[in-house]
Amino acid sequence: MAKPKKVNKQTYDLTIIVPVYNEEENIDRLEQTFKEYFDQSPIKSKVLFVDDGSTDESFEKIKKLSDKDSRFEYLKFDKNYGLSSAIKAGIDHISTPWTGYIDADLQTTPFDFDKLWEFIKDYDLVVGYRGDRKDTLNKRIQSKIANAIRRALINDGIIDTGCPLKIIKTDVAKKIPFFDGMHRFIPALSKLQGAKIKQVNVRHFPRLHGASKFNIFNRSIKPLQDAFAYRWMKSRYINYGIEDKNTGI
């Protein structure tokens, strides 16, 4: 007999996207941390895992967690498509008014979503920046190079574009023009719509389990290519406002 599908009747304000690629060692910690966060947070929130074609036991753990707790949902890709695709898929499947984003490595903490939430009424996008980085020296150098390239080419005023902690209005997120590498430019792409953005200092922690999926190429060379793609898109971006209509829609 087929297992009855869980029914989730609770109304949520925020869906937090957590992209996952071979993070089996972090899933149990994610479960514990988010449950602790849900219990104390004033925000009615849930998690949407997006498994990006993991080849370890990540998805099996995610599915087991989701089956027993309706606050955890998932999407599973048929193969590895990359971080930008995972974020886009998450946004495409969100119906709550607000969309959050955090990495599965928990180098930032969901508890800091409450810090971002304090500003949410006055802004379309609230992003974290890691004022006290806990990365290795090599990783910090790569990030500095990537941020310097981005600032020189697009000058979006964002302190730390690599910080994964973000809350954005879902209707703004759904209008972001996506391309491979767009996760580095969510604030800049939101600004094309006239979005108001607030930056908030958030905590940062060392990675406890698993390995970073980034290297000098996808932290420096790839962002350079993507920055030129953004500049091209910005010069041709279509944005308009409707003053009046009679369309029946």
How does pLDDT run across 22-72, given as a tens digit for each residue?
Answer: 999 999 999 999 999 999 999 999 999 999 999 999 999 999 999 999 999
Query: What pLDDT score does 236 carry?
Result: 73
Between β-strands 197-202 and 14-20, what pairing exists: parallel, antiparallel or unpaired?
unpaired
Residue 64: Cβ within 10 Å count: 14
Question: Which CATH fold topology does 14-236 show?
Answer: Spore Coat Polysaccharide Biosynthesis Protein SpsA; Chain A (3.90.550)
Cβ burial of 192 (10 Å; 0-12, 13-18, 19+) is middle
Q: What is the pTM of this model?
A: 0.81
Is residue 168 within 8 Å of 90, Cβ to Cβ?
no
Q: What is the C-alpha to C-alpha distance for residues 151 and 192, in angstroms, rounded to an integer?
A: 16
DSSP string for 82-94: -HHHHHHHHHHT-
Cβ burial of 226 (10 Å; 0-12, 13-18, 19+) is buried
Spans of the chain, pLDDT less than 70: 1-9, 135-143, 147, 150, 207-223, 237-238, 240, 248-249
Angle between helices 222-236 and 137-154 (to 10 degrees): 20
Closest CA to 184 of 134, 140, 149, 141: 149
Is residue 167 within 8 Å of 120, Cβ to Cβ?
yes
137 — phi, psi (to 5°)? -60, -45
Q: What residue ranges do the domains of the chain occupy?
A: 14-236
Residues 6+ apart with CB under 8 A from 112: 128, 165, 200, 202, 203
Query: What pLDDT score does 139 carry?
Result: 66
Is residue 44 within 8 Å of 20, Cβ to Cβ?
no
Query: What pLDDT score does 239 carry?
Result: 72
Query: What pLDDT score does 244 carry?
Result: 81
Three-state DSSP class for residue 4: coil
